[in-house]
Amino acid sequence: MALRKISHVSEADHRIVTDAVADAERGTDGEIVTIIAAQSDGYDDVALVWASVGAFVAMSLVALFPACYQGLYQTLTGGWGAEPTANQWLGIVLAFGALKWIGIWIILLWRPLRLALTPHAIKAGRARARAIDLFKVGTEAKTVGRTGVVLYVSLKEHRADIVADEAIAAKVAPEVWGEAMAALIERIRAGQPGEGMAEAVRQMGVVLAEHFPKSDNNPNELCDRLIEI
């Protein structure tokens, strides 16, 4: 079976970002890695929580307004059904809650809705965690001077992050990357993800050149091309 090619941005965007990385690294020993993802997490746990909350609320309403639901039961049975015992009624309520749970879970299989119902703070945290994981796998301690830095963009969460290696983090405070992030977000909102990442890379290059100017014997240790996952 052929593997499906991941393509979140155009070939032109790839060239723009890759060229920006190469240009930025000409003035610094820093190594910039760019990564773009459609989404940072599946949020299966969020769907479980919503389904559980929905089921609990449904069963609570039955407990709070039993006469209403007992009347509905009589209507559904045509008024000929025997009055359920307490144990039978408990079973009906539990079955109602289980059906409600299953229904909500099925609805939340539609990922756009699941993402929309995920709190902003959770999405931000998952995107940050994903950026750190990718940094640890492909960038951390992968350069001689520990001067690697990852620019990570998660499109569906509308989140971006910069994670830097030990030597950079010791000299550059996180807020210093603010202008780069602002430039990136502005252009992504305008539908120009490639331009946004390229401008962020340019500004990151300026910061890196200030603290880690290019030395004579520094090789290109990390890939310049934009990585899609």
Residue 8 confidence class, pLDDT cut points 50, 70, 90: confident
Query: Is residue 102 predicted with pLDDT exceeding 90?
Result: yes
166 close to 146: Cβ distance less than 8 angstroms: yes
Residue 225 confidence class, pLDDT cut points 50, 70, 90: very high
Mean pLDDT score across all residues of the chain: 88
Indicate the Cα dihedral angle 152, 154, 155, 156, nearest 10°. Answer: -170
Residues 6+ apart with CB under 8 A from 69: 61, 62
pLDDT per residue as tens digits for the range 28-85: 999 999 999 999 999 999 999 999 999 999 888 877 777 776 667 667 666 565 666 7
Residue 2 confidence class, pLDDT cut points 50, 70, 90: very low
Strand 148-154 and strand 31-37: the pairing is parallel
pLDDT per residue as tens digits for the range 159-197: 999 999 999 999 999 889 998 999 898 898 888 999 999
- 162: phi then psi, degrees, rounded to nearest 5: -125, 125
Strand 148-154 and strand 159-164: the pairing is antiparallel
Predicted TM-score (pTM) of this structure: 0.84
